[in-house]
Amino acid sequence: MEAAARRGAVIRLEDTPVAASHRRLAADTAPSDAAPTPRAADAPRERILHVFRAPVGGLFRHVVDVARLQAQAGHAVGLFCDASTGGARAEAALAELTPHLALGVTRVPMRRNPHPSDLAALAALSRLVGRAVPTVLHGHGSKGGLFARLAPVGPRARPVRAYTPHGGSFNYRPGTPLHRLYMRAEGLLTRRTDVFLFESDYIAGRYRAYVGPTDRLVRVVHNGIGAAEFAPIVASSDPFDLVYIGELREAKGVPVLFEALARLRREQGRRLTLLVVGSGPDEAALRARVAALGLARDVQFEPPQPIRAALSRATVMVVPSLAESLPYVILEAAAGAQPLVSTDVGGIPEIFGPAAPALVPPRDAAALAGAILRKIDQDPEERRGEAAALSAFVRCRFSMNRMAEDGLAGYAAARDRRG
């Protein structure tokens, strides 16, 4: 499979005519793993291509969940993504999903930043569109949104072009040259967008603030999770005090977390243990930082692993991010009633709801250290009660089925609006 993917081959593709009916997903407001409800006989069956770059992280999880539910609802679905990232975990996830995708999985090389090879990837997507004749091109992330909106579609297709940023270019620091460049590009690409399906109110607000008002259809479709993820996390017998789960890079605020631990030891004589789970471009620098701060005995690095297994190994999860959209790692931990300490960035307050005042400012090691110590020293029953209350709030607001249903409704509304 991987060899074919790296040649840009379509792993599975069936060019069947567009059928006369489809079924809509269940519109329940609570998460559910049940199968979608039967489609309405008079509603069109969609042919949906999801376009994104890296099959990793929360964006990939979102695409996999949505594609699976759309396929279960009777739509023809396909994926177009990078061939060089994701490793064995992505290969396994795609292999499991591919039999359900009538439009298959196409993988071609893509770069994170703008590169001349983008032209080859864009041409490959255009050829795929010519064969698959999708009714929807849904771009995810900055690169996926660029490709889905720029791809020539030929005379046979007139797809709805949808865009979900997942943070992407909107997470760059305002005022920097890159932020200005990307916001200008977002403004130009708006002309080729039928519907924005923002994953958080925060990113929708960033669009309004830095790109400006738009006459295009705009909807907020929150990330959602399933019922099984609300089973409580069972702690191991000898847990670490803290766990960080995520990409190992500066933007995730991991150096601030290390400084907070060093501050607690230096100023209050408290030595807390930390499990760091993840990988990324700054791993070597972060390991060196741990050594320089004298934390080598207290901090243990491990590669990516299933999130519930990692959560079970610590008392509190810490999210020290400097920028986020609506991170799945917090949704998953909150659903499982894992005690949390997090920074107040992006859409995280939307997840915390009434508990948002407990969030701490980013880049503030002293505030993070104080929040960590309060949570660690909190009465265990009180700590469990707060975690259970957050889990209940997430259950009410972040349904996987609602996420998929609202996305399909967004496609239909954009088509109706376009006439």
| DSSP strand pairing (76-82 vs 47-51) | parallel
Query: What's the total number of domains in the chain?
Result: 2
102 and 37, same structural domain? yes
> Across the beta sheet with 217-220, what order do the strands follow?
105-108, 76-82, 47-51, 136-140, 160-164, 195-198, 217-220
CATH number at residue 386: 3.40.50.2000
Q: Which amino acid is at 215?
A: D
168 and 304, same structural domain? no
Stretch (H or E) spanning 264: helix 254-268
Q: Which one, of 153, 149, 111, 108, lies nearest residue 132 by Cα?
A: 153
392 and 258, same structural domain? yes
Under a CB-based contact definition with an 8 Å cutoff, are residues 143 and 171 in contact? no
220 and 270, same structural domain? no
Under a CB-based contact definition with an 8 Å cutoff, are residues 77 and 71 in contact? yes
Gap between the Cα atoms of 240 and 315, Å rounded = 6
Residue 157's Cβ-count burial label (10 Å; 0-12, 13-18, 19+) is middle
Q: Which one, of 25, 12, 28, lies nearest residue 75 by Cα?
A: 25
Stretch (H or E) spanning 106: strand 105-108
Q: Which residues pair with 328 in a beta bridge?
A: none
Gap between the Cα atoms of 100 and 69, Å rounded = 10
Gap between the Cα atoms of 333 and 331, Å rounded = 6
Under a CB-based contact definition with an 8 Å cutoff, are residues 291 and 397 in contact? no
Residue with tokens 């460049």: 181
The confidence score (pLDDT) of residue 24 equals: 30
271 and 189, same structural domain? no
Structure tokens at 264: 């607690």
The confidence score (pLDDT) of residue 410 equals: 98
Gap between the Cα atoms of 108 and 82, Å rounded = 5
Under a CB-based contact definition with an 8 Å cutoff, are residues 348 and 342 in contact? yes
404 and 386, same structural domain? no
Gap between the Cα atoms of 283 and 248, Å rounded = 5
232 and 183, same structural domain? no
Structure tokens at 158: 């007139």
414 and 393, same structural domain? no
Q: pLDDT truncated to tens, each residue of the chain (419 aa)?
A: 434 433 344 333 333 322 322 333 333 333 344 444 445 445 569 999 999 999 999 999 999 999 999 999 999 999 999 999 999 989 999 999 999 999 999 999 999 888 999 999 999 999 999 999 999 999 999 999 999 999 999 887 899 999 999 999 999 899 999 999 999 999 999 999 999 999 999 999 999 999 999 999 999 999 999 999 999 999 898 999 999 999 999 989 999 999 999 999 999 999 999 999 999 999 999 999 999 999 999 999 999 999 999 999 999 999 999 999 999 999 999 999 999 999 999 999 999 999 999 999 999 999 999 999 999 999 999 999 999 999 999 999 999 999 999 999 999 999 999 87
Q: Which one, of 176, 174, 189, 186, lies nearest residue 211 by Cα?
A: 186
Gap between the Cα atoms of 337 and 384, Å rounded = 7
411 and 278, same structural domain? no
407 and 266, same structural domain? no
Residue with tokens 């032209």: 119
Structure tokens at 148: 């889905």
- E strand map for 156-239: 160-164, 195-198, 217-220
The confidence score (pLDDT) of residue 161 equals: 98
The confidence score (pLDDT) of residue 157 equals: 80
270 and 171, same structural domain? no
Cβ neighbours for 23, distance < 8 A, ≥ 6 positions apart: 36, 37, 38, 39, 40, 43, 73, 74
262 and 195, same structural domain? no
pTM of the model: 0.86
What's the chain's length in residues? 419
Gap between the Cα atoms of 26 and 39, Å rounded = 9
Owning domain of residue 312: 228-397
The confidence score (pLDDT) of residue 155 equals: 80
